[in-house]
Amino acid sequence: MSVVPPMMAVPPMTEQKPTPEQPLDKDWWRGAVIYQIYPRSFQDHNGDGVGDLVGITERLDYVADLGVDAIWLSPFFTSPMKDFGYDVSNYRDVDPIFGTLGDFDRLLEKAHSRGLKVIIDQVISHTSDKHPWFAESRQNRTNPRHDWYVWADPNPDGTPPNNWLSIFGGSAWTWDSRRMQYYMHNFLTSQPDLNFHNPDVQDAVLGDMRFWLERGVDGFRLDTVNFYFASLGLESNPVVKPEDFNASTAPAVNPYNFQEHLYDKSRPENLEFLTRIRALLDEYPGRTSVGEIGDSQHQLEVMAQYTSGTDKLHMAYTFDYLGGAFDAGHFRKSIDLTEKDAPNGWICLAFSNHDVVRHVSRWMSHGDRDAFGKLTATMLLTMRGSVCLYQGEELGLTEAELAFEDLVDPYGIEFWPQFKGRDGCRTPMVWQSTAHLGGFSTAPRAWLPVPGDHLLKAPDLQEKRNDSLLHHYRATLQFRRAHEALVKGTIKTLDAPEGVLMFTRTAGAETLLCAFNMTGGPLVVRLPDGIGVRGIDAPGSIAAPIGDGDLDLPAFGGFVGAVL
C-alpha cells in the first residue's frame, strides 16, 4: 500500500469563503453544539448492513433541523476494523465500507450548504498494525522507521519492561519475534503506539491532518489526546489503593484502575506537541480542536493544561459526566473544580457517546424516561461549555441489551459479563417505526441488532407528538441559541437543597437562573436572598413566581428564568 508523502498538498474542495454579509466567526466553536455521528450505525445507503457516508449525507437535513452547529464523524478511514475504525491503516483515504473520498467531499459540501461545520476524528496516538509505517518498523532495528513506534527490550527474564497495562486488558506490551523486542499498545495488540518523541512521527501525523484541512474540514476531535507520549525512562506506574479507585476511564472490573498512570500517559512533553497542532490549525482560520482526555486521577488538571491560553487545544472533554454519578453534589463539584482549575480553558460537555452506556439507561433504570431525558437535555444545554450530543439521545434511545453471541466489541468480549462493552450504545439509528430495521438498512441483518423498543422512539412517531423528547431537544437548542448567556456566558453555582443543582449564567446585562431537581420526588427551592426571577418560556421549565419566592420543582423538573 502506498502512502501519500506527508506534506503533499490537496486542492481545496469545499473551502468556506465568508461573505460581507456573513463574516467568518473564528470562535464559532465556543458554546457550539456538536452532533456526534457514528458512521457504522447512522444510515446504510448501499444495503450491506453497515452505515456509510452517502447514508449520512442523506440524513443531514434531519441533523440540521435539530439546530446544532456541527457534526463530529467518528473514524471512517481505511482500517482492518479490529476496533471498528479506531485502528487506522491509512489516514488519507476512506475505508470502502464507508465509501470513497468523493463521497466524503459530497458530504462536506452538503453539510456546509446546510450551515453545519464538520469535525472528523483523528486517532493518532496509535495506528493499526497493518499501517505501512508499522509494517516497516517491525522488520528490524535499523530500518528508516525503526523508532516510529514505542519499542523496548525485555527484562533479563524475558518479561515486559514494566507494569504498564492495556485498557483493553492484559499487558500494554506484546512481543515481536522479528525485532526480539516488545512494542507498546494502550489498547488492542493490533494498535501499536506511535513514538511521538520522534519529530519525524510528529511531522507525518501533522501532514495527514493537513490533508483533511486542505480538503475543507472544520476541525478535529483528537482521540485519547493525553496518550501521545510515554516516559522514555519506562518507569513502572505506582499502585492505587482500592479505596482510591476511580473507574471513570475504565470499568470497575478492569485492572487498569489498579495503577496511577504517571508514566504511560499525560506526560508534560505532550504540551509542546499540542502547540504544533494549534499552529497548524491557525493556518486555516475558523478551524477547531476538541481533545478526549482519559485520565481518572488528573483529568481536570490535564484539561486545564491542554486548553489554557490560545496556543494549545481549543476545547477538551473529560469523563466527569460520561462516567460519574447523576448526583447534584457531583455536578456542582465538577463545575466548581472546572472553573477553579481551568478558568481560561474551555470544556466540551457530553452525557453520552460511542464509548459509554447511554445516559438515560446509565442514570435512570426505571420511571418516566422521557421526563428524565428532557431534564438532562436542558441541564446539558444550559451548563457552561460547548456540547456534544450523541446520535439518538435526542430520541431517548436506551442502552441495548445484547446477547453475548451478538457482541463484536473486543472490549466487551474480554470483560463479559460484568462489563458488556460498547456495542449497546452503538446499535443502528432508527428512523421509521414500522420499517425493516427501523429504516436503517435494507439488508437482511444489520452489523448490530436493532432493539425492538427503539422502534417506539423513531422520529416518525415523535414528529407527531408536540410533547416528544425530539421536539424538546429542538426547542431547547433554539432557546440556547437565542441567549448569549447560555452560549458563551460565565457560570456560578448556588447553594441549594440536596438533590438540586442551581447556577446562574451571565453575559452582558443578561443573567439567567437555572435550577434542576435531580431526584425522583418533588422539592421546594428557596431562591437566594435578593434574587428575583421571572419565567421566560424556557422549554420544559416550570412556571415561577415573579420576584422573590420559592420554586416548586416536581420530580426531575427544572426551571430557567431571567434574574431581575
Q: Which residues are catalytic?
A: 223, 283
User: For residue 371, what is the enclosing H or E element?
Assistant: helix 369-380
What distances in angstroms separate CA 154 from CA 117, 157, 181, 412, one per listed residue?
A: 47, 7, 6, 30
Rounded to the nearest 10 degrees, the angle between the axes of helix 299-307 and helix 328-341 is: 40
Q: How far apart are alpha carbons 347 and 341 in whole angstroms?
A: 12
3-class state of residue 386 by DSSP: strand
- Exposure of 429 by Cβ count < 10 A (0-12 exposed, 13-18 middle, 19+ buried)? buried
Q: How far apart are alpha carbons 364 and 239 in whole angstroms?
A: 33
Q: Which DSSP state fits 542? A: P
Task: Classify strands 533-535 and 558-563 as parallel, antiparallel or unpaired.
Answer: antiparallel
Rounded to 10 degrees, the C-alpha dihedral 169/175/176/182 comes to: 100
The residue behind cell 485519547 is 224
Q: How far apart are alpha carbons 291 and 122 in whole angstroms?
A: 10
Q: How far apart are alpha carbons 438 and 427 in whole angstroms?
A: 11
Closest CA to 280 of 289, 290, 291, 268: 289
Q: How far apart are alpha carbons 200 and 525 in whole angstroms?
A: 59
3-class state of residue 472 by DSSP: helix
Contact present, 505 and 485 (Cβ < 8 Å): yes
The residue behind cell 485520565 is 295
